[in-house]
Structure 1
Amino acid sequence: MKVFKIVLGVSLFVLISAFTLTKSEMSGYEIGDKATDFKLKNVDDKMVSLSDYKDVKGYIVIFTCNHCPYAVAYEDRIIALDKKYKKLGYPVLAINPNNPEVQEKDSFELMKVRAKEKGFTFPYLFDEGQKIYPQYGATKTPHVYVLQKTKEGNIVKYIGAIDDNHADEEAVKVKYVENAVDALLKNKEVSVKVTKAIGCSIKA
């Protein structure tokens, strides 16, 4: 009987452990975490990594997609972010985290079409196998991560929304990403580090 209880206890522990996520698996990166590099296919069929950018100060990593109306509403603002900050050392890298088997409008071939239609000035990468977005903890499209390049690695400095009004660019009062990058460029602390990302759920 005692042996049975021990075996049962061990079995329950293994079962619970198998379905228990670690802190990082549950929430992804937090402010101050070091983001690991990735290697993803761009719409030009070339592979892109953070390490390809030798002389940058950081990155604006944005999880976005083709079909989501929130993502579409932000496309011009994302292009504007890249044009403004790429020359200052913070380029945009956009990543499509969606599974095209679940949402066919987010296929790699249609990513190419969308990037050409909108004239994307930044890499538009496909998270094939959906391996990168869970590491970051992205849940929406769009969902932004501002990373600062340091000797210790690429440190997460801001997570969340691009600004405070997805519906109307002219009504925006707080530009979260711009404020974060501007602070980092001045070697200052980011005042608002985390906001709620507003958008479509990622299609896994």
Structure 2
Amino acid sequence: MVLKESDSELARGDTAPEFELRATDGTHYSPEDFAGNDALLVVFTCNHCPYAQAKFDHLNGLSDEFDDAAIVGINPNANAEYPDDSYENMVELVADGTVDYDAYLYDETQNVAREYGAVCTPDPFLFARVDDDWHLAYHGRLDDALDPDSEPTEFYIEEAIESILTGEEIEHPDRPSRGCSIKWREE
């Protein structure tokens, strides 16, 4: 495990890069499939990383709490050297309820993670719906728990989602997420 902090090229206000990825239900999803929501949280995550695993329940709770926000996980670790992150294991995590948010997608080419500038798992990007497009509103950690065993006391992403849903500016700055490095394939 290599510990990384997120540092994307996307800035607040930038339009979400497009994608069309297969979910655990076999359906392909793009950002437009969630256009009926006011907020879209895209989290680059995976099955095996302890930092990502520590946030599964948090993301499930966000999905339950916010009806007008879509919570989407994207697994970029399509690397044969990390079999725990396989699509089949993603399907199992959704089937057993470990992952229970709007969609869990597989970035088989790793191109989507590259376009977003994701570097670690988890790496959250929160978008607001503005003029029929998704615009980055916040890129950063979900909460203040920096280690898998820590209990959070501040919930940045909830505050950010609530700000979007009430039409207010997000007050807090982007804070780099921390987690395992994405398992890039050698090209």
| Maintained 8 Å contact 1:163/1:175 | yes
Task: Give the drift of 1:29.
Answer: 1.1
Which stretches in structure 1 are left out of the alignment for 5+ residues?
1-25
> In percent, how many aligned pairs have the same letter?
31
Shift in CA distance, 133/119, structure 1 to aligned 2, threshold 3 Å: closer
Task: Give the drift of 1:142.
Answer: 0.5
| Maintained 8 Å contact 2:41/2:127 | yes
Match of 1:94 in 2: 73
1:114 and 2:89 are equivalent in the alignment: no
1:131 and 2:111 are equivalent in the alignment: yes
Task: Give the drift of 1:167.
Answer: 3.3
TM-score, normalised relative to structure 1? 0.81
Bigger Rg over Cα: 1
After superposition, what is the alpha-carbon deviation per residue over 1:56-107, rounded to whole angstroms, capped at 9, x for unaligned?
Answer: 112011111000011111111110011111x1x1110100011222311111
Q: Aligned-pair RMSD on alpha carbons?
A: 1.6
CA distance in 2: counterparts of 1:152 and 1:58, whole angstroms: 12
| Maintained 8 Å contact 2:34/2:40 | no
Higher relative contact order (CA 8 A, sep 6+): 2
Match of 1:198 in 2: 178
Give, as a single letter, the amino acid of the residue that structure 2 aligns with 1:185.
L
TM-score, normalised relative to structure 2? 0.88
| Maintained 8 Å contact 1:149/1:155 | yes
The structure that is strand-richer by fraction is: 2
| Maintained 8 Å contact 1:157/1:193 | no
SS in 2 for 1:51: helix
Aligned residue pairs total: 176
Task: Give the drift of 1:152.
Answer: 5.8
SS in 1 for 2:124: strand
The runs of at least 4 consecutive aligned structure 1 residues that moved more than 4 Å come to none
| Maintained 8 Å contact 2:126/2:137 | yes
| Maintained 8 Å contact 1:180/1:193 | no
Aligned to 2:33, which of 24, 48, 52? 52
The structure that is helix-richer by fraction is: 1
